[in-house]
Amino acid sequence: MRAYERFLKYAAYPTMSSEETGTHPSTAKQLVLARELVCELKALGLDNAEVDEWGYVYAELPSNTDTVCNDIGFIAHMDTSSEASDENIKTQIVKYDGGDILLNKEKDIWLKVSDYPYVEEHKGQTLIVSDGTTLIGADDKAGIAEIMTALEVLISSGAPHGKISVAFTPDEEIGEGADNFRVDRFGAEYAYTVDGGGIGELEYENFNAASCKVDIKGVSIHPGSAKDRMKNAARIAAEFDSRLPKDEIPEKTEGYEGFHHLLSISGATEEARLVYIIRDHDREKFEEKKRTFAALGETMNAEYGEGTVDVQIKDSYYNMREKVEDNLFVVERAKDAMLSLGIEPIVVPIRGGTDGARLSFMGLPCPNLCTGGANFHSRFEYVCVEDMDKITELLVKIATDTAKSEKKTVKV
Domains of the chain: 3-206+319-402 (3.40.630.10), 208-316 (3.30.70.360)
The single residue of 40, 60, 86, 172 carrying the catalytic annotation is 172
Q: Based on DSSP, count helices (H) and strands (E) in the chain, helices before strands.
A: 10, 18
pLDDT, tens digit, 9 for 90 and up, residues 262-320: 999 999 999 999 999 999 999 999 999 999 999 999 999 999 999 999 999 999 899 99
Annotation says 79 is catalytic: yes
Q: How many Cβ atoms sit within 10 Å of the Cβ of residue 302?
A: 11
pLDDT at 134: 97
Phi, psi angles (nearest 5°) of residue 158: 75, 15
CA distance 42 to 258: 43
What predicted TM-score, i.e. pTM, was given to this entire model?
Answer: 0.89
The single residue of 40, 60, 71, 79 carrying the catalytic annotation is 79
Q: Are 313 and 210 in contact (CB under 8 A)?
A: yes
pLDDT at 246: 96
Q: Are 390 and 198 in contact (CB under 8 A)?
A: no
Annotation says 172 is catalytic: yes
pLDDT at 309: 98
CA distance 31 to 15: 8
pLDDT at 175: 86
- Indicate the angle between helix axes 3-11 and 138-157, nearest 10 degrees: 140
CA distance 128 to 147: 18
pLDDT at 231: 96
pLDDT, tens digit, 9 for 90 and up, residues 166-191: 999 999 999 899 999 999 999 999 99
3-state SS class at 247: coil
3-state SS class at 375: coil
pLDDT at 387: 98
pLDDT at 226: 87
Those residues of the chain that have pLDDT short of 70 are none
11-28 core/surface letters (b: 16 or more CB in 10 A; e: else): bebbbbbbeeeeeebbbe
- Indicate the angle between helix axes 385-402 and 329-340, nearest 10 degrees: 120
CA distance 187 to 315: 27
In sequence order, the 6+-apart residues with CB closer than 8 A to the CB of 127 are 93, 94, 96, 101, 119, 382, 383, 384, 385
Nearest to 17 by CA among 131, 177, 145, 163: 177
